[in-house]
């Protein structure tokens, strides 16, 4: 008669190991998203029209309150963390940014319209594969 051995593993240890692995993957994915956002920022900063410098200096990369399985960041111009200054997620700079960004007929001595959209579009195809590669996702 053959013997069967069963090794009892603490369920809590398994759950902790899974949670740790998920946390590591999320940190890697967030880091990769921030890397792409930093590249977009650098390119965009070279294209944004500069008058007073307020718009140029308002670019931020913010980590969102991620859930256990979701990773996201927000990045761009005119973002604000100040609830007093929020209006549909945008501050006063953001309103100005939209006018400058969208007016294709306005002349700028330095910079151009679509200063944010163009760099985002240039790097859009890199984002998902980069995060998948970094986290081992399929």
- The domain limits of the chain are 11-135
Residue 117 has pLDDT above 60, yes or no: yes
Q: What is the reported pTM?
A: 0.74
Q: Tell me, what's the pLDDT at 87?
A: 47
Residue 123 has pLDDT above 50, yes or no: yes
Q: Which residue has the higher pLDDT, 74 or 91?
A: 74
Q: Tell me, what's the pLDDT at 6?
A: 55
Angle, vertex CA 131, rays to CA 94 and CA 56, nearest 5: 25
Of the candidates 48, 44, 46, the one whose C-alpha atom is nearest the C-alpha of residue 61 is 44
Of the candidates 82, 116, 110, the one whose C-alpha atom is nearest the C-alpha of residue 96 is 116
Report how far apart, in Å, the C-alpha atoms of 12 and of each of 8, 19, 23, 124 are: 12, 10, 16, 40
Beta pairing partners, 75? 61
Confidence bin at 89 (pLDDT 50/70/90)? very low
Q: Tell me, what's the pLDDT at 7?
A: 55
Portion of the chain with pLDDT greater than 70, in percent: 80
C-alpha to C-alpha distance for 119 and 42, rounded to whole angstroms: 9
* 13-62 pLDDT tens trace: 777 777 777 778 888 888 888 999 999 999 999 999 988 888 888 888 98
Of the candidates 98, 51, 63, the one whose C-alpha atom is nearest the C-alpha of residue 77 is 98
Q: Which residue has the higher pLDDT, 121 or 138?
A: 121
Long-range contacts of 103-109 (CB under 8 A, 24+ apart): 108/49, 109/49
Angle, vertex CA 88, rays to CA 63 and CA 82, nearest 5: 55
Q: Tell me, what's the pLDDT at 107?
A: 82
Q: Tell me, what's the pLDDT at 88?
A: 43
């Amino acid at each position: 008669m053959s013997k069967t051995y069963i090794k009892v593993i603490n369920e809590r240890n398994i759950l902790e190991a899974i949670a740790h692995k998920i946390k590591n993957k999320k940190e890697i994915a967030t880091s990769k998203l921030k890397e792409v956002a930093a590249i977009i920022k650098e390119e965009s900063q070279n294209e944004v029209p500069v008058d007073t410098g307020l718009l140029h200096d308002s670019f931020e990369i913010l980590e969102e309150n991620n859930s256990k399985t979701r990773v996201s960041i927000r990045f761009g111009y005119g973002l604000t963390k100040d609830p007093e200054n929020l209006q549909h997620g945008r501050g006063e700079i953001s309103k100005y940014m939209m006018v400058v960004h969208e007016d294709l007929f306005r002349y700028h001595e330095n910079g151009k319209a679509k200063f944010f959209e163009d760099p985002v579009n240039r790097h859009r195809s890199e984002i998902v594969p980069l995060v998948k590669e970094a986290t081992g996702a399929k």
